[in-house]
């Protein structure tokens, strides 16, 4: 088997470090060719470069790039805003583990270079859906999701050869740390409460998104982009009305696909992101290292329940933004990033995350997402408006 060259954008984050585990465990098939990070954790990326010896290191912050380069003689260190996207040309597969809208350039550069994109950065797909759909048509370009739910759906869809036989996608949600609480119970939850995810170990942004169910809402839009109607050859004729969310607190069933004969196929494992990372790297093959293996003698029960839309309004907001289309998904994703940052900085209460997002979306201008520039403009505008809305909530909290 020839070695697959892998580049990791966002190598110091939660996805990046777990991808390194997979590459190390499968050293006979994967070779780490390049890594990239913002430069905010210079000691981590220097250690990664020394240990895994990639030929290129990309650092978005140009000053950090200079000081990191001084520590890595013989390694090509690229610095600047475009450095991370340039990794696309250094690999057969790029893992995009960048956090938030900043991952867009990596998503587009990888697809436009005709490479495989192992996508953990759902925000780029959500914000720039129509633009990413065009880039996906580049010869050689492939998008394999790293999100556990979408990796599960990708696997379940292989149960049919006929794309018209898919009737429903069922995205599972752990429910996060606040499952079962009422809207009133959630008035005074703390940052520590929200960061205490019951089943998954993830970065802070996505952990807060899980606590509000915005993560699941964004994943509904992500599923629609990946498997839905507008994707041409990649599509399964799935509309928003065909995507349902099921709360499943054990996080063992990672999602399901229901076919026209009512057969429902599920993908199961214990919660371990290294499984979907390995799947996205190796597809259509599978890696030989087991991650997330289930011990059936100790598994116990699997529970399922509907989501509480009243206590977790972000889920309905995301469905609405997805149905609006155009730049509405870019707006909800940007407003959410602003609101989550504000919550993590102690500026607003947890419940105000949804309020800031709703108030921002109320001011959406209905612009279409025609090209990357339109999406970048929409992102900046939504952030500006979200900050305005934030100020009207921030004064009353804490």
In whole angstroms, how far apart are CA 145 and each of 86, 88, 120, 319?
21, 17, 6, 20
Q: Which is nearer to Mg ion, 14 or 347 (CB)?
A: 14
Stretch that binds Mg ion, among 148-156, 320-328, 360-368, 374-382 (CB under 5 A): 148-156
Q: Does 352 help bind Mg ion (rule: CB under 5 A)?
A: no
CB of 149 to Mg ion, least distance (A): 5
Contact region with Mg ion (CB under 5 A), list: 98-106, 141-149, 167-175, 308-316: 141-149
The least distance separating Mg ion from the CB of residue 371, rounded to whole angstroms, comes to: 28
CB closer to Mg ion out of 210 and 347: 210
Contact of 145 with 276, CB cutoff 8 Å: yes
- Beta strands at 116-119 and 30-37: parallel, antiparallel or unpaired: unpaired
Residue 19 Cβ vs Mg ion, minimum distance, rounded to whole Å: 15
Binding mask 98-137 for Mg ion (x = CB under 5 A): ----------------------------------------
| Residue 61 binding Mg ion, by CB under 5 A | no
Q: Taking the complex as a whole, how short is the minimal distance between the CB of residue 187 and Mg ion, in angstroms?
A: 27
How far apart are CB 120 and Mg ion at their closest, in Å? Answer: 9
| Cα–Cα distance for residue pair 262/258, rounded to 1 Å | 6
Instruction: Give 187-190 contacts, CB < 8 A, sequence gap 24+.
Output: 187/349, 187/351, 188/349, 189/350
Q: What are the φ/ψ torsions at residue 37 (nearest 5 degrees)? A: -155, 170
Number of residues that bind Mg ion (CB under 5 A): 3
CA gap 202, 340 in Å, rounded: 15
List, in order, residues 6 or more apart from 50 with CB less than 8 Å away: 72
| 147 binding Mg ion? (CB under 5 A) | yes
| Residue span 155-194 as binding mask against Mg ion, x where in contact by CB under 5 A, dash where not | ----------------------------------------
What is the C-alpha separation between 173 and 180, in angstroms, rounded? 13
Instruction: Catalog residues that contact Mg ion under the rule CB under 5 A.
Output: 147-149
């Amino acid at each position: 088997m020839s070695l697959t060259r892998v580049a990791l954008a966002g190598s110091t984050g939660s996805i990046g470090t777990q991808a390194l585990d997979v590459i190390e465990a499968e050293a006979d098939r994967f070779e780490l060719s390049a890594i990239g990070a913002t430069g905010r954790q210079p000691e981590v990326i220097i250690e990664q470069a020394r240990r895994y010896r990639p030929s290129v290191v990309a650092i978005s912050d140009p000053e950090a790039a200079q000081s990191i380069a001084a520590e890595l003689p013989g390694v090509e260190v690229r610095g600047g805003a475009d450095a991370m996207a340039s990794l696309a040309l250094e690999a057969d597969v790029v893992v995009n583990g960048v956090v938030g809208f900043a991952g867009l350039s990596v998503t587009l550069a990888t697809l436009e270079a005709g490479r495989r994109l192992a996508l953990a950065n759902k925000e780029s797909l959500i914000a720039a859906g129509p633009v990413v759909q065009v880039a996906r048509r580049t010869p050689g370009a492939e998008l394999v999701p790293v999100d556990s739910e979408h990796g599960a759906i990708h696997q379940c869809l292989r149960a049919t050869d006929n794309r018209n036989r898919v009737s429903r996608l069922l995205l599972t949600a752990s429910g996060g740390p606040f499952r079962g609480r009422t809207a009133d119970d959630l008035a005074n939850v703390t940052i520590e409460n929200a960061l205490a995810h019951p089943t998954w170990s993830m970065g802070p942004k996505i952990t807060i998104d899980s606590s509000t169910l915005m993560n699941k809402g964004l994943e509904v839009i992500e599923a629609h982009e990946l498997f839905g109607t507008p994707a041409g050859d990649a599509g399964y004729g799935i509309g928003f009305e065909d995507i349902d969310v099921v709360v499943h607190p054990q996080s063992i069933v990672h999602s399901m696909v229901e076919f026209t004969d009512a057969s429902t196929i599920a993908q199961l494992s214990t919660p371990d992101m290294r499984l979907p990372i390995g799947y996205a790297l190796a597809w259509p093959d599978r890696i030989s290292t087991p991650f997330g293996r289930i011990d059936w003698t100790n598994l116990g029960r699997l529970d399922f329940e509907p989501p509480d839309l009243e206590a977790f309004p972000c889920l309905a907001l995301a469905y609405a933004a997805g149905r609006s289309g155009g730049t509405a998904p870019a707006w909800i994703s940007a407003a959410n990033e602003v609101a989550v940052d504000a919550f993590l900085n102690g500026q607003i209460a947890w419940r105000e995350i949804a309020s800031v997002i709703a108030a921002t979306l109320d001011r959406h201008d209905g612009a279409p997402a025609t090209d990357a520039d339109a999406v970048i403009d929409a992102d900046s505008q939504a952030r500006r408006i979200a900050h305005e809305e934030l100020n009207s909530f921030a004064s009353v909290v804490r």
